[in-house]
Chain A
Amino acid sequence: MRRIALSGLLAATLASLPLAALAQDVTIDTAQGPVTLPAAPQSVAVYDMAALDTLTAMGVQPTGTIDNILVAPLRAAAADAAPVGTLFEPDLEALAGLAPDLVIVAGRSAPQLAAVSQVAPAIDMSLGTDLVAEARARIEGYGTLFDRQDRAAQMTAELDTKLAALRAAAEGRGTAMIVLTNGPKMSAYGKGSRFGWIFEASGLTEAVEGLDQSNHGQAISHEFIAEADPDWLLVVDRGAAIGADGAGATETLRSALVEGTTAWQQDQVILLDPAATYISAGGFGSLTATLDQLTAALTDGAQG
């Protein structure tokens, strides 16, 4: 009897050894301020496409994520993850069944922080409008959390290279306007908006300054684009981002008025990848892909 108890104690001690080694706490920055967590969580459920993007780039495979992933490159990366609801409605039962060590919410799923916290430890890794700086902070945070500082440093360096390339390509390339199309309607985005980081990162000047900083842009007309006459038109197709069909962004823009602008005349209309700029914006893969696309387009002056 005593032997069994002793060996049991021994087994328990042995089993807890690796745990003790792992259970070192680290402190990382989140959207809600610094949070202290046990390092290197083994099982992670991710409710944000940008976080999923950065994590898979880092080599961390999530054990759970949302059902319907609209960003094609991420779909394959998360193929082995268990479905745990949607961005707006986490399936708490599925999440509890998965029992992850950590849940990551951000952006669209950020309001669900309290709900998912009931099931497992959760952090809010939302990105602000200073997208590049925030993305960099997140890479660093994930690197610390998952004990992959080397890979994180590598990713940050890659980001820096690509940012420098874009800045060089955009040097002296004139003014730009960011337009989001949604079916037949258009809105424009300025510095400080969700797409404003493009101006900061590239150094392109705004064709129209003082645009509203809200998330949804300002409703504009074809006349407005013609009057602003930007050298570059950066277009995000909201419909395509969410998988809607119908008239594409080019069809929405095409009119005698827009066709008269410098951007259209010189074939300097860049159709940004809607999924990368809208749904998983700020994720490592999306960010570098967008930077590459912009750099290539600005260098050739051709359709992106």
Chain B
Amino acid sequence: MRLRPALSSALLALMLASLTVGAAQVDLRAVFRDPQAMLVLLESRLPRTLAVALTGAALSVAGVLIQALVRNRFVGPDTSGTAEGAALGLLAITILWPSSPLWLRMIAASLSAMVTTALFLAVIRRLPVREVMLVPIAGLVLSGVLGSVVTFVGWQTDLMQYVGTWLMSGEFSGVISGRYELLWIAALAAGLAWFSADRFAILGLGDQVATGLGLSTAAVMRLGLAVVSVVTAMVVTTVGMIPFVGLVVPNLVARVMGDNLRASLPVVGLAGAVLVLACDLLGRLVIRPYEIPAGVILGVLGAVLFLWLLHRRPAHG
């Protein structure tokens, strides 16, 4: 596949651009002579670049997994109740234990995201298999219901603005060294999925086929569930939910490469990183030195890409 080297070089170019673009005016060529330039590079630029790339990659891989789990192309971590679940967990721990350390909040968010994603899987199992569009609709309904619970609790406890930083913005302006490292856990979880890529590909063929091929579907389901939840929870707690990445990127890649997940997962990760990085760069450039959240730009771009996907004829039959 020629896609991989192309995407790799695009990612490299974007990362270099991301390192040189920011509110501070420093000459990065003088980084070893100018301590301020070094500081900006290490404290702000590098962490931010990594955070954006990791988020994009991890969310896209999570998107592939959840699409394999539900055998439907039109869902993503942001339309299956997962993000709202993570926010619900965060909200609960914030109210019950306001001084809780960050790691505990992460765990609460992950667990609660897992529960709501499992709930989503349980709901769609009861749907008629033929009705393809029911699955994303069920996901949207579940997201809506959970979202309204989050809103209600947030409203009652005067935490609405705080909830907004998780569910509505998806921006990287607060990222500096020491405040994004949890995203490595998300990337690690996504990387873990790659080792089981073949199993997820088989799972995508359906329960009966998968069981017939000797796959323990329950175990693979559990692994997928864990990865999707951990990735979503880490992203939501660190930078806020970013829409459309997990939905659009897997579809675009599958259109070119098909469903051989072992081959396509790295490409999905790369493409996700490229997409989010491009959006974040754009957000940093258009109203420099202020910022537009990457999530806002992706909301627009993602919607256009999604409509295009819906209206084009399927690539494979």
Taken together as a complex, chains A and B put the C-alpha atoms of A256 and B44 apart, in Å, by 9
Q: A212-B290, A224-B289, A257-B44 are in contact. Are A244 and B39 (CB under 8 A)?
A: no
> When the two chains form their complex, are residues A219 and B289 in contact, meaning their CB atoms are under 8 A apart?
no
B43 touches A222 (CB 8 A): yes
Least CB distance from B151 to A in Å reads: 13
Q: Is A218 an interface residue (CB 8 A)?
A: yes
For chain B, which range describes its interface: under 10, 10 to 19, 20 to 34, or 35 or more residues?
20 to 34
The answer on a CB contact under 8 Å between B39 and A186 is no
Is A182's CB under 8 angstroms from B23's CB? Answer: no
| B25 partner residues in chain A, CB cutoff 8 A | 227
Select A184's contact among B23, B36, B45, B174, beta carbons within 8 Å.
B174
A174 proximal to B (CB < 8 A): no
Smallest CB gap from A188: residue in B: B290
With both beta carbons as reference points, the residue of chain A lying nearest to B45 in the complex is identified as A223
Closest to A184 in B: B174
Query: Distance in Å from the Cβ of B42 to the closest Cβ of chain A?
Result: 8
Q: A38: CB under 8 A from chain B?
A: no
Contacts A223-B40, A255-B43, A260-B36; A242 near B158 (Cβ below 8 A)? yes
Known A182-B165, A244-B162; judge A227-B289 contact (CB<8 A). yes
- Rounded to whole Å, the gap between the CB of A148 and the closest CB of chain B is 33
Contact A219 B43 (CB under 8 A): no
Residues of A within 8 A of B99 (CB): 245
Establish whether residues B159 and A219, one from each chain, have CB atoms under 8 Å apart when the complex forms: no
**Closest approach, in angstroms, between the C-beta of B40 and any C-beta of chain A?**
6
Known contacts: A185-B173, A246-B94. The answer to whether A221 contacts B43 by CB under 8 A is: no
Asked if A221 contacts B94 (CB within 8 A), the reply is no
A239 to B292, CA, bound (A): 22
Distance (Å) between the CB of A7 and the closest chain B CB? Answer: 56
* A252 sits at the interface (CB 8 A): yes
- B94–A245 CB distance below 8 A: yes
CA distance A292 to B43 in the complex (A): 36
Partner pick for A224 among B24, B36, B98, B159, CB 8 A cutoff:
B24
Chain A interface bracket (under 10, 10 to 19, 20 to 34, 35 or more):
20 to 34
The B-contacting residues of A in range 214-229, CB under 8 angstroms, are 218-224, 226-227
Q: Are B162 and A222 in contact (CB under 8 A)?
A: no
CB-based contact B289/A257 at 8 Å = no
| Contact call B94/A219, Cβ cutoff below 8 A | no
| A121 sits at the interface (CB 8 A) | no
Q: Is the CB of B165 within 8 A of A224?
A: no
Q: A220-B291, A221-B23, A222-B43 are in contact. Are A244 and B159 (CB under 8 A)?
A: yes
Cα A184 to Cα B176 in complex, Å, equals 11
Per-position contact with B for A149-163: 1 when CB-CB < 8 Å, else 0? 000000000000000
How far is the CB of A77 from the nearest CB of chain B, in Å? 21
CB distance from A259 to the nearest CB of B (A): 10
> Binary interface profile of B, 96-129, with partner A (CB < 8 Å = 1, else 0)?
0011000000000000000000000000000000
Interface string of A245-285 (1 = CB under 8 A from B): 11000001001110010000000000000000000000000
A115 CB to closest chain B CB, in angstroms?
A: 19
Whether a CB of chain A sits under 8 angstroms from the CB of B179 is yes
Chain B, Cβ-Cβ closest to A252: B174
Tell me whether A221 and B162 are in contact (CB under 8 A): no
Q: Decide: A226 and B293 in contact? CB cutoff 8 A.
A: no
B237: min CB distance to chain A, Å: 9
Report chain B residues within 8 Å CB of A183: 161-162, 165
- Pick the residue among A219, A255, A256 that contacts B173 (CB under 8 A): A219
What's the least CB distance linking B162 to chain A, in Å?
5
Closest to B171 in A: A219
Q: Is B67 an interface residue, CB under 8 A from the partner?
A: no
B250 within 8 Å of A (CB atoms): no
Q: Which residues of A contact B43 (CB under 8 A)?
A: 222, 255-257
Q: Mask for B133-164, Cβ within 8 A of A = 1, else 0?
A: 00000000000000000000000001101100
**12 further contact pairs, Cβ within 8 A, besides A223-B45, A256-B39, A256-B43:** A68-B158, A70-B158, A182-B162, A182-B165, A219-B291, A220-B23, A222-B174, A227-B23, A242-B158, A246-B162, A255-B176, A255-B177
What are the nearest 9 A-B pairs in CB distance?
Answer: A245-B98, A224-B23, A218-B290, A223-B24, A223-B23, A184-B174, A227-B24, A183-B165, A242-B158
| A residues adjacent to B (C-beta < 8 A) | 68, 70, 182-186, 188, 208, 211-212, 218-224, 226-227, 238-239, 242-246, 252, 255-257, 260
The 20 sampled A-B contact pairs (Cβ below 8 Å) are: A70-B158, A182-B161, A182-B162, A182-B165, A183-B165, A211-B290, A218-B291, A219-B290, A221-B48, A223-B44, A224-B23, A224-B289, A227-B289, A242-B158, A242-B159, A244-B158, A244-B159, A256-B176, A257-B39, A257-B40
Q: Which positions in B face A, CB cutoff 8 Å?
A: 22-25, 36, 39-40, 43-45, 48, 94, 98-99, 158-159, 161-162, 165, 169, 171, 173-174, 176-179, 287, 289-293
